[in-house]
Amino acid sequence: MNCDEAGILLHALIDGELDAGHARELEMHIAGCAGCAAQLREFQELRKSMKPASLRYTAPVALRGRIEGKLSARGAGASRRSVVKGFAFGAAASAIAASGVLVMVMRTDDDRRALGEVVSAHLRSLQAQHLIDVESTDQHTVKPWFNGRLDVAPPVADLTAQGFTLLGGRLDYVDAKPVAAIVYRRRVHIINLFCAPAPGAANRAAVMQSLQGFNVRRWRDNGLNLWAVSDISPDELMEFGEKFEAALKQ
Amino acid sequence: MMAGGAADVGDGGKAERFKALALPHLDEIYTLARYLLRNASDADDAVQECYLRAFRHFDTFRGGPIKPWLFAILRNVCHASYAGGARLVFTADDVDAGAAQAIPIWREDVDTPEQAMLRRHDSDTMRRLIGELPAEFREVIVLREINDLSYRDIATVIEAPIGTVMSRLARARGMLRDAWIAAEGRSG
């Protein structure tokens, strides 16, 4: 064994990766080679200076939460391409959803995917410190902010008097397509109202769904698909949706 | 009603299985990301992408230890980021090494021997020295010394023969030893 070989194999010795035969050869070489013996000592010293525990990093709690949230939303059936399918499904759903009547519909796969997407976007907004792009309690500030950013003007209603504080708006992406997110607060709870264009589609009555502890009130009005997502109770979220629809009709 | 919809029905179980297997290694994956990218927010993004990608491809995971598989995915994510805009290559670490980087540790003379001693053993110094190694040497050092992977697992992660792992590790330790001695010599 020459010094070049020994110079590489001594690392395998330190790491306990050397088989007995090579270990024996290496030890014989080192016994007769001061240079390689010194190398071995130096690298053993270096090893002692590297305390793995002190060199590790700990993943931020927020990162862990974000990953868990995304995995949960996906695991429950969310996938890409879903919202487009959700839109396509809309026409069929409207046939079974009697106008003006709340129905608990049987969840189809496409429904569930759209649900997963918006819940995922809601979680993202809470965890990524990116809740609001335009911060304002004034509907006349929030609504125009979307001009030029979206193909549609999302409805924005001031519901402060009804107990839902407007916090602002955000451009979000659901299935890689831009959507408007209008953000409200009820006590300490955040409500994200997602609006995506559904051109030409018939109106559709509200449906309540829930996923991963979040409630979603979904409806379609005036060529827009709307999803209100929050962790407030279904009753309160239903109330929010009703107040919101009522405010727009005024 | 859409083709492929039924395939998602069992996803809840899949997600739970994936989480149980993969999430316990989050700190280790994050550690490698920090060393590869040398920046906390880039590491955050890369680790998140790694986990989502791993979950998407979980069906292709063939069993065995999941750690090398996750490391390999993370490495690919990081390399894609390098290729994608070089943004991630030499960004200074913005969180805990920032202050240390501003002051080279061989800016001596002013420290008492006691302070020098403390600093010598400061893990921040070692982190920084590791961080300054060229990428291909840095990754084998981190995988071996910090993440405690076997040569075989390292070979899997970096997609190279074991001989390459050995020679790279030898060179990496040589560089690290020289840097360490230089730091010590100048501070002692």
pLDDT digits (tens, 9 = 90+) for B95-127: 333 333 333 333 334 455 555 455 545 678 899
Residues 6+ apart with CB under 8 A from A23: A13
DSSP A128-171: TT---SEE-S-HHHHHHHTBTTBSS------BGGGTBEEEEEEE
A66 at B interface, C-beta within 8 A: yes
CB-based burial label for A21 (10 Å; 0-12, 13-18, 19+) = exposed
Nearest-angstrom CA–CA distance, A90 and A111: 9
**pLDDT number for residue A227:** 94
**pLDDT number for residue B114:** 57
Residues 6+ apart with CB under 8 A from B154: B68, B140, B143, B144, B165, B169
**pLDDT number for residue A54:** 84
Distances from the Cα of B139 to the Cαs of A52, B12, B44, B94, B147, in angstroms?
Answer: 14, 34, 18, 20, 10
Average pLDDT, chain B: 77
pLDDT tens-digit readout, B60-89: 888 778 999 999 999 999 988 755 443 434
A44 at B interface, C-beta within 8 A: no
Mutual angle of helices A34-49 and A3-14, in 10-degree steps: 30
CB A197 within 8 A of CB A152: yes
Find the length of chain B.
188
CB interface of B with A, residues 135-154, below 8 Å: 144-146, 148, 150-151
Nearest-angstrom CA–CA distance, B6 and A24: 60
Single-letter amino acid code for the residue at B22: A
**pLDDT number for residue B5:** 37
**pLDDT number for residue B121:** 58
**pLDDT number for residue A10:** 92
In chain B, pLDDT over 70 holds for what percent of residues? 70
CB pairs under 8 A between A and B: 123
Is A56 in contact with B146 (Cβ distance < 8 A)? yes
Whether this model's pTM surpasses 0.80: no
Interface probe with A: pick from B30, B74, B94, B150, most Cβ of A within 10 Å? B30
DSSP state of B92: P
Of the candidates B149, B87, B63, B123, the residue with the CA atom closest to the CA atom of residue A48: B123
Residues 6+ apart with CB under 8 A from B53: B73, B77
Average pLDDT, integer, range B148-158: 91
* Cβ atoms < 10 Å from Cβ of B90: 8
pLDDT band at residue B187 under the 50/70/90 scheme: low
* Cβ atoms < 10 Å from Cβ of B163: 11
Is B55 in contact with A110 (Cβ distance < 8 A)? no
CB A175 within 8 A of CB A113: no
Nearest-angstrom CA–CA distance, A136 and A12: 63
Distances from the Cα of A123 to the Cαs of A194, B8, B27, B104, in angstroms?
Answer: 13, 21, 22, 42
Is A42 in contact with B177 (Cβ distance < 8 A)? yes
Of the candidates B67, B55, B5, the residue with the CA atom closest to the CA atom of residue A69: B55
**pLDDT number for residue A222:** 86
Distances from the Cα of B36 to the Cαs of A238, B47, B152, in angstroms?
Answer: 48, 11, 20
Kind plus residue range of the DSSP H or E element containing B65 = none
Is B15 in contact with A74 (Cβ distance < 8 A)? yes
Of the candidates B94, B59, B26, the residue with the CA atom closest to the CA atom of residue A65: B26
What chain A residue is nearest to B38 in terms of C-alpha separation?
A: A57
Strand order in A204-211's β-sheet?
A: A134-135, A165-174, A177-186, A189-197, A224-230, A214-221, A204-211
CB environment B102-116: b (16+ within 10 A), e (fewer): eeebeeeeeeeeeeb
pLDDT tens-digit readout, B130-147: 999 999 999 999 999 999
**pLDDT number for residue A71:** 86
A72 at B interface, C-beta within 8 A: yes
ipTM of the complex: 0.75
**pLDDT number for residue B62:** 81
Q: What is the largest CA-CA distance in chain A?
A: 96
Nearest-angstrom CA–CA distance, B187 and B114: 11
Decide the pairing of beta strands A177-186 and A189-197.
Answer: antiparallel
Mean pLDDT by 10 residues, chain A (250 residues): 90 87 89 93 88 88 90 56 40 38 39 78 77 83 85 87 89 81 89 88 86 87 91 91 88
Distances from the Cα of A156 to the Cαs of A56, A114, A148, A180, A190, in angstroms?
Answer: 47, 22, 16, 10, 16
Tokens of A62: 């927020």
CB interface of B with A, residues 9-28, below 8 Å: 9, 11-12, 14-16, 18-19, 23, 26-28
